[in-house]
Structure 1
């Protein structure tokens, strides 16, 4: 598959496909709808390429798994948001432009994979380790989407500073296991992608960076939740763990 993509014909075919797809979308959709369609088309194309690489006779199989995992995560973020909370839906719901740090982290993982594949090819053929990473990805993806669906219209990608009339404290389902299942799912998913790629440097870097990000995010979010729900959330906080190791959230009086 990769050999085919490296040939001139393969490159031309991809360029023609993208040009035709974008032209077709431009004719059908206008403005914001076109922007959504282009992103969905790009993610679908990436997923398809990853699937072909995954089933092809190549040493890049695990990178194909990664491509499928990454594209599905971003597409499903938009799709599930559209289902549960369409009022908050925007292009940012794809999380493709989450932050500069996120884009740098993604690019770093690609660079590490390619460099180590060239210098230590056997490291990238640890199938049992990649399978373990794939299971982490599937678990994390499933937990995050279960959290989003359980929270329904209460879920938002942006921490809310003002309580909406429909905003309620969700403590059932996966929220009875931990207070922040969507963050736990994303944490597990992000680490899983690097285990899947057998990227030792990025496994460590992702773990530390993600832990720090979610510690700060949880503290910020829990300030709002205590403001919204008062003692009800404090009691819930005492009863249920945050879900992430060594993260207790904002401190409250005993």
Structure 2
């Protein structure tokens, strides 16, 4: 039998780790629930039922959860010295919450007054492709910048900071 020698998590780290675990759990449950509901809706649609009008909103929540989980995960994996319990980027201020609220309200208003607007599969597919492309570009940018990336806006250049010109940045940097 293999015995483990447990190590105590230092007190100054325990609360942030616990906070991160709770946030990850909530995001995972919300994303998993929406994926499950979407899967059930798509299965019913393939059997001839009408596609649920909830699918677009559920898909939105899947992508929002994925974005926030990737922000934390990519930072943890590629730049752990800049990892904080708020690296999920959920504390982006009232403007961020207002933007999501307005977007959801717009969706619900359109759904109520003009439900036919939610039936254009080609537009929905184009939106999904754009979201996936944008998220892929963001994630690659974080990966390629490595330790040079931080969610905190720097006012002064750190001694160890370098201008990244490789990866996705080789296509976008300015030659000054």
TM over 0.5: yes
Q: Would the alpha carbon gap of residues 33 and 117 (structure 1) be closer, same or farther in structure 2, given more than 3 Å must change? A: same
Report deviation, 1:133: 0.4
Gaps of 5+ in 1: 1-28, 180-235, 239-254
- Answer whether contact 1:82 1:89 (CA < 8 A) is retained: yes
- Alpha-carbon distance in structure 2 between the residues aligned to 1:148 and 1:30: 26
Q: CA deviation at 1:80?
A: 0.4
The answer for the alignment partner of 2:20 in structure 1 is 36
CA contact (8 A) 1:52 1:64 kept: no
Are 1:122 and 2:116 matched, yes or no? yes
| Larger displacement relative to structure 2 (125-134 or 30-39) | 30-39
Q: How does 1:1-254 map to 2 (within 5 A)?
A: 30-57=14-41, 58-179=52-173, 236-238=174-176
Name whichever structure is richer in helix by fraction: 1
Instruction: Note the alpha carbon deviations across 1:154-174, whole angstroms, 9 max, x for none.
Output: 001122123223211111121
Aligned alpha-carbon RMSD (Å): 1.5
Structure 1 residue ranges (4+ consecutive) displaced by more than 3 angstroms after TM superposition: none
The answer for unaligned runs of 5 or more in structure 2 is 1-12, 42-51
Structure scoring higher RCO (CA < 8 A, sep ≥ 6) equals 2
- TM-score, normalised to structure 2, is 0.82
